[in-house]
Chain A
């Protein structure tokens, strides 16, 4: 597998690190959450979560619907700011810097912490323009040739290049659902984030497209820290280094994926993964 060097890498991410999964889980802390509470109006959705996210790990959030896993995910790049009634308390740091600090530029934060949504949402523009949009926003390419390179390498990383290289000028909305989702991942990768958040990235896809996206997550984890929400426990078991179980706005348990699925410490986790509820 030939992965081109990440264009304009600005972070300390070690590209193509050859370390194995297990050892990565002990790497340095990339993001840290302390006593994070989220309110929608008067209703509390998250009750004080503490969590470390390590560099280059794949961390999965699992839990029943409405347990707050997506809400917490969206706190990590402040997408919740777009919801008027949403209020976040507590502290979240990225590389030891508070992302909710008053002087923090949320636009730059989101360039550093990219997000892929549940439903593929390509812009109604050409495939090329979909990818080029982020790099243009942040001035990552000075010349057309550089931009072309970014578009190609991003599409290659998303495993989409071979499928679309001859029709880059076609609308992104004309692709199949699975292709659209990989296009959205490529779009996120093009901005060279450190962390990619994925909010149930496969829930709108068929099994074959899901398998492709899972394979992609596996490959991307060599260069990026990936935090994903999933409803599908098998998926968490397949792709995640560590898994966090959420329930009723609480982070019940977080551990290596093996540990969670074979030897959960909390009764609620045990009930959930054995299908007792959820």
Chain B
């Protein structure tokens, strides 16, 4: 039975269980002529859960453990001389070939007799596994159903129990996000540590040259992995982006929050927010094809040599991209400043712009700083625009009109094409990713703290 059919059957069973629970609770109520603790629907849901959840749990556990168990059993069955002297990696490859054969897919070379035998063995094991799973689930479904249906009585607090199940479901959902984050960080950390076994952290964090020669087989030289040129490029592009986005975004926010008539606000705000919805790759080729050449020829006019792909091009376009982040968040924060403060300043004879500059903005400042930091972390993590428009030139220099490279671009470069995940050339991506993660995490944490502090002030 395929897993899909299994789950579908389970759902049908749960629907049936719901119905049984519902009718049973009504029958019990009629029989004893009492008021049940909960409405009939809750008994139905609870019976359905008793029927479905244990089976579902065993299904998930089974799907996770059974393949490993089968792999182990198959490995034991393989001829000893075939397994002897194989590294873990080669064994994995062998098992993958056997699995492919067992599932009826072809493999390169057709498969040796031993492999075919192992595949036959594996196919038998899989059939057993599948049948035992179906049988086990069927038992659980029936037992759960009968057990729960029997427990239906006027005193059974179905409503409260359903409430608890809902709470656990919600908690489990939030745990998914948290554990995923932890998992990603741990795996990055592990791989980054492997990278640092090739290259010392001091060399990585303080090196000023980025030149990771791609490893050809047997070449002894590893190249140089200095982070600083990349970090510098990232900072340069992000700074340019923020120099564009912060003034424009903040002034947009002030206009939208304080001056714009309602109809204009209703039209303009969504339009500005569309900027945030444009895919970054579109910004990227916009930068490459339109902005870069434009800046270059504009530079010629005033006698500055601006490369088509440069920190300036990428920063400018990225700045436009993050305008809505700054304007939208700042707008919300400015609108939250209580009207009484504005009235206070206006009542003292301040003009509108004096009120905004001297009272509203200082009051909103922590929140606005939070908005800036969130925009900054967005800029630092941005990839597509810089891949296309920054020129990929990982060299330390202070000229924004020259090409640069950033951490994100370098990760792309190191992970595209043929990869060998045992070499520092690929592993460096994890070290870079971890660095990036720490930077943006730091900015986000600071932003959150700042924003929270601001919230306390008015609530």
Contact = CB atoms under 8 A, between A and B. Distances in A.
Interface stretch (A3-11, A114-122, A161-169): A114-122
A107 B351 contact: yes
Given A117-B340, A137-B354, A125 B362 contact: yes
B349 interface: yes
Contacts of A184: 344
A134 B349 contact: yes
A214 B114 CA distance: 101
B340 A108 contact: no
A138 interface: yes
Interface in A103-161: 107-111, 114-117, 119, 121-125, 133-134, 137-138
A134 B354 CA distance: 11
B359 A110 contact: no
A111 B349 CA distance: 5
A212 B37 CA distance: 58
B348 A79 contact: no
A137 B340 contact: no
Interface string A92-111: 00000000000000011111
Interface string B335-358: 000101111111111110010001
Contact of B346 (A79, A116, A119): A79
Contact of B362 (A109, A122, A124): A124
A227 interface: no
B346 A110 contact: yes
B343 A121 contact: yes
Contacts of B338: 121
A37 interface: no
The B interface is mostly helix, strand or loop, or mixed, namely helix
A184 B348 CA distance: 10
Interface string B48-71: 000000000000000000000000
B216 interface: no
Contacts of B354: 137
Interface string B343-381: 111111111001000110011000000000000000000
A173 interface: yes
A82 interface: yes
A223 B323 CA distance: 52
Contacts of A38: none
Given A117-B344, A121-B341, A133 B358 contact: yes
Contact of A82 (B341, B343, B348): B343
B347 A110 contact: yes
Contacts of A125: 362
A77 interface: yes
Contact of A123 (B341, B346, B349, B351): B341
A77 B363 contact: no
B112 interface: no
Contacts of B343: 79, 82, 115, 117, 121
A113 to B, nearest CB: 9
A114 B340 contact: no
Contacts of A124: 341, 362-363, 457
Interface residues of B, number: 19
A141 to B, nearest CB: 14
Interface string A172-191: 01000000000010011001
Given A107-B349, A173-B457, A82 B344 contact: no
Contacts of A107: 349-351
Given A107-B350, A111-B349, A137-B354, A123 B457 contact: no
A188 B349 CA distance: 10
A123 B359 contact: yes
Given A124-B363, A124-B457, A134 B348 contact: yes
A84 to B, nearest CB: 8
Given A111-B349, A191-B349, A121 B344 contact: yes
Nearest to A119: B340
Contacts of B348: 110-111, 114, 133-134, 137, 187-188, 191
A119 B344 CA distance: 10
Nearest to B261: A84
B347 A79 contact: yes
A188 B348 CA distance: 6
Contact of B347 (A108, A119, A122, A188): A188
A134 B359 CA distance: 12
Contacts of B358: 133
B340 A121 contact: yes
A259 B342 CA distance: 38
A124 B336 CA distance: 14
B336 to A, nearest CB: 13
B258 to A, nearest CB: 11
Which of B341, B348, B362 has the most chain A CB atoms inside 10 A of its CB?
Answer: B348
Contacts of A138: 349
A114 B347 contact: yes
Interface string A246-268: 00000000000000000000000
A41 to B, nearest CB: 13
A110 B347 CA distance: 6
Interface in A38-67: none
Which of B346, B354, B457 has the most chain A CB atoms inside 10 A of its CB?
Answer: B346
A173 B459 CA distance: 13
Nearest to B262: A84
B352 to A, nearest CB: 9
B349 A137 contact: yes
17 contacts: A79-B346, A82-B346, A109-B349, A110-B349, A111-B348, A115-B343, A117-B347, A121-B340, A122-B344, A123-B345, A133-B345, A133-B348, A133-B350, A133-B359, A138-B349, A173-B457, A191-B348
Interface of B: 338, 340-351, 354, 358-359, 362-363, 457
Given A137-B350, A137-B354, 17 more contacts: A77-B347, A79-B343, A107-B350, A110-B346, A111-B348, A116-B347, A119-B340, A121-B341, A122-B344, A123-B345, A123-B363, A124-B341, A133-B345, A133-B350, A134-B348, A137-B349, A187-B348
Which are the 4 A-B pairs with shortest beta-carbon distances?
Answer: A111-B349, A121-B340, A110-B349, A115-B347
